[in-house]
Amino acid sequence: MTLLSVNLNKIAVLRNARGESEPDIARAAETCIVAGCGGITVHPRPDRRHVTPEDVMLLADLTRGRVEYNLEGNPFAPARQGYPGFVELVRRAHPTQATLVPDSDGQITSDHGFDLARDSQRLAPLVEELNALGCRVSLFVDAGAEHLELAAKIGAARVEIYTGPYAKAFAANGCERELRACADTASRAHDAGLAVNAGHDLNQRNLAAFRRAIPGLAEVSIGHALIGEALYDGLDRTVRNYLAILRA
């Protein structure tokens, strides 16, 4: 079955809005794990606006030996006060997977993937270093991305398809073109020897059609929609609803 990795960034956003300790990100992670999710995802950013390096280490201990742990981030963002750099965080936390994303410091959310023809040489030594740390590497790519074989060549094990355009098209009742682009990208990634993850704006309405279109989909990372839906239905029930969709 496709693994569900729950992104907890929005829990940290709510906590940080008050500058205190609630909602408790560790309790949220525990709830998701007990509900049956296969992984926990966080995307610590240098400005500490949601998940912090301290959260990263807390969740590393909580998930170890229980579920997969996925750290997302820009490997080129330099270290600064309060943020040791992405590769250093991986070195300290030993996640199952590092998902490399080409976002700038000021981006509200990730909104595009790597250009592998342009970026692969620069990524290669970082991928090698992360692999040496025992971490599976996934590269964030757009649907329709070219040169996927370069991701495999530099040592990445997976790509994560950016599904934002698909989700927007689905909401507008016209997602066929975007879904075909995702399916074609997944097929070409598999041909290159890569496993396929997906994420961004997936929700309970659009996930089933996406999963059906992508045979062998390894993982979906879902946060914003899942946490929003949990405000109405509860976190445990919402995670179980997603798992039911992935099992169907």
Do 25 and 33 touch, CB atoms closer than 8 A? no
DSSP assignment letter at 37: -
Find the catalytic residue in 50, 200, 219, 229.
200
CA 84/CA 72 separation, integer angstroms: 14
| CA neighbor of 55 nearest in space, from 81, 89, 79, 85 | 89
**Which position has the token pair 């290159």?**
192
Find the catalytic residue in 72, 160, 219, 229.
72
147 is catalytic: no
72 is catalytic: yes
88 is catalytic: no
Do 54 and 81 touch, CB atoms closer than 8 A? no
Count the Cβ atoms, other than its own, within 10 Å of residue 122: 12
Angle at 245 between CA 243 and CA 248, to 5 degrees: 110
CB within 8 A of 124, min separation 6: which ones?
154, 155
Find the catalytic residue in 43, 50, 178, 229.
43
Cis check for the bond before 23: say yes or no (omega within 30 of 0): yes
- Residues with catalytic roles: 43, 72, 200
